[in-house]
Amino acid sequence: MKTTYLTRSKSVFAAIYLSLLSLCMVTYAQNVDSLEKILESEDLKPSDLIVIYDDLSWGYMDSDARKSTFYSYKGLDLAEKMENDPMIATFYRNLGVAYYMVNSYDTAASYLDTGLEIANAVENEKLQARIYVALGNLYNQTSDYTKALDYYMKSLRMFESAGEEERLAAILHNIGALYQRIRNTDEAVYYFTESMRIAEKIGDRESIAHTLMAMTNIYMDSDYAKAIELAKEAAAIFKEHDNLYGETMSILTIAQSHYFAENYNDAMVYAERGMKMANESNFPKLTAEANGVLSNIYYYLRNFKDSEYYALSALEIDSTDLNLTGNMIVNALRANIFLAKPEMAISYLDKYREWIDLYANDAFQQSLSEMKVKYETEKKQLQINSLEKERRLTIGLGVSLAILLLVLLAYFIIRHRLAVAKRKVAEQHVGQLEKEKQLATMQAILDGETAERSRLAKDLHDGLGSMLSVVKLNLPDLNEHGVLASEDRKRFHSALGMLDQSISELRRVAHHMMPESLVRYGLKVSLSDFCDAIPIAEFHYYGNEERLDNKLEVLIYRCAHELVNNALKHAEATQINVQLVQEVDRVSLVVQDNGNGFDYIKQKEGMGLDNIRQRVEAHRGEMNIYSSAGKGTEVNIELAFDT
């Protein structure tokens, strides 16, 4: 018999994909393959070309995020050349959706906010509504339900006013998914029913498939066979529409239904099939869900090692979803108890307590209730009940009691096995000390390199540079008082010109070794000067302008310098964007180019990238590379620091 927590958590898989997949997408008359052929075979006007870019970027959204991003950038470039503000906002919206489909949430939010700002400026309500939906999906995905519901309600009012029934069905579905994720089943069923009614009226098969998937969760309580039947029907519809994302989630839901029916062999078959499809889809969220299903199955097969492995894999890919996170933390906790790893079990127990505090926050639930009441007051047509705070409080108390019992059980097991665990803890401590020693060594090397660069730059500029300048000042006197032949005079002036070039080159080298603007004015000014000197480079700065630690500023400048030089030398780029975001406790550097790109999965990093990664890791930072052949490269570097 399954525990209370996992029985309750089955709603995760039926609800998670809904907010991502229901993007208020329009079915285009032409498929993406035929549109790409038109691009290759016809000489199109810019007005026709920009529409095709929009169709392709949106058409690939649920099957190939990289292609979607590629066509979005192409369209954005064309829209900016045409000075077409509505289409600029549209492509920013498309980029935002594509990035959050691959879990790049910060980048997604930036693009969506930019698109919304432009849509507001041109007072285009249709664009505003679509961007509101995308923002709602983004915050729903990251479990910020208050913001998500606010954006959904704004878009819902606009779609109702415009009479766009297809989009209205999708947004009603998303709201139902949100309530399903916070386990308010009554409200979820209400919105799903309304969505299904409109979808059947207009013959929107994909919206019907989404709602079929939502209903599988309801039937999991009483009729597993019915849940599996609905999920298979949804999978068939998604396959008809080449919706790989929806088809994959349908397969994973079938696996989940077999798992709750305790048909573990069938569950494993569908789970492995879903994992394969998820890996092929290039959507990290799907891979995280597949890992979650496999973790649950392996736990009840008493294969605790694999259960922990897949749980940690799911958390590593996506820890933003509260439902999935809670399920995986519990799996890791119980697996470590049975694997006799008490210290690890205690750490996961602490994480689970943090998760409970976040999930059961009464103020968070109350804010959703108030927002819903506000919407219903404005609409004055729908009458929806409150979010039943007392019922949730009762459920919360029950969950707390279950946790208390679990804590007591864990305490006695851990106490019994502490002696065995001490040796392993000591080994882990030694490994950590060794790692810290390596980081300290690397930091010392970097500090020495920075100091040496500063010394050399000063010596070159103040020493050799001054000497050459004195020579240059004295040579004209020699020319005036000496008697030189005509040919010697030409060589004299030629040598004087070469001396000028040498002085300029020496100053340039000294500047790049340790830019004076970096020392005096900080990162913003020095990076701006650096990018201004490169015709194809643009620099963008966001955040406060407080000076950082000198070592950190030098590191970031060197990283930007190396990445831009890579784009110039190797990528054959025609456009380079450098973005620096400075916050209170962290700084983020993004260097993006539209050059050749490379397959970073198969191709090893060169010496330059490897050096950058070592420097970043020495400061306990993180570097991520996004690139593919022919589609440009984006390098993200994030560094945290003490305030």
Beta-carbon contacts of 531 under 8 Å, excluding residues fewer than 6 positions away, are: 537, 538, 539, 564, 576, 578
Residue 476 has a pLDDT of: 62
Cα–Cα distance measured from residue 185 to residue 207, given in angstroms and rounded to the nearest whole number: 19
Residue 21 buriedness (CB in 10 A; 0-12 / 13-18 / 19+): buried
Who's near 515: CB < 8 A, 6+ residues apart? 526, 529, 530, 557
Please say whether the beta carbons of 622 and 588 come within 8 A.
no
What kind and span of H or E run contains 349?
Answer: helix 342-359
CA distance 625 to 575: 18
Those residues of the chain that have pLDDT short of 70 are: 1-31, 41-42, 221, 320, 322, 357-393, 396, 419, 421, 426, 429-497, 499-517, 600-603, 643
3-state secondary structure of 246: helix
Which letter does DSSP use for residue 626 in this model? E
Q: Are 182 and 369 in contact (CB under 8 A)?
A: no
| Pairwise CA distance, residues 548 & 383, whole Å | 54
Q: Do the beta carbons of residue 175 and residue 156 sit within 8 Å?
A: yes
Q: What type of residue is 513?
A: M
Contact assessment for residue 252 and residue 274, using Cβ atoms and an 8 Å cutoff: yes
Distance between CA 88 and CA 117 in Å, rounded? 11
Q: Which of 452, 464, 451, 385 is nearest to 179 (CA)?
A: 385
Q: What is the pLDDT of residue 18?
A: 39
Q: How far apart are CA 641 and CA 579, in angstroms?
A: 19
d(Cα 75, Cα 29) in Å, to the nearest integer?
A: 19
Q: What is the DSSP letter of 541?
A: E
H-state helical runs in 459-484: 465-481
DSSP result, 408-421: HHHHHHHHHHHHHH
At which residue do the structure tokens 């088809």 appear? 247
Q: What is the pLDDT of residue 469?
A: 57
Distance CA 536, CA 75 (A): 19
Using an 8 Å Cβ cutoff, are 112 and 133 in contact?
Answer: no
Q: Is 406 helix (H, G, I), strand (E, B) or coil?
A: helix
State the pLDDT at residue 87. Answer: 92
Do 317 and 353 meet the contact criterion of CB atoms below 8 Å apart?
no
The Cα 511–Cα 528 span in angstroms is 14
The confidence score (pLDDT) of residue 121 equals 93
Can you read off the two tokens belonging to residue 369?
């209730």
CA distance 386 to 396: 17
Q: What is the pLDDT of residue 490?
A: 66
Residues ≥6 apart with Cβ < 8 Å to 540:
577, 578, 579, 580
Q: Which residue has the tokens 């910020």?
A: 144
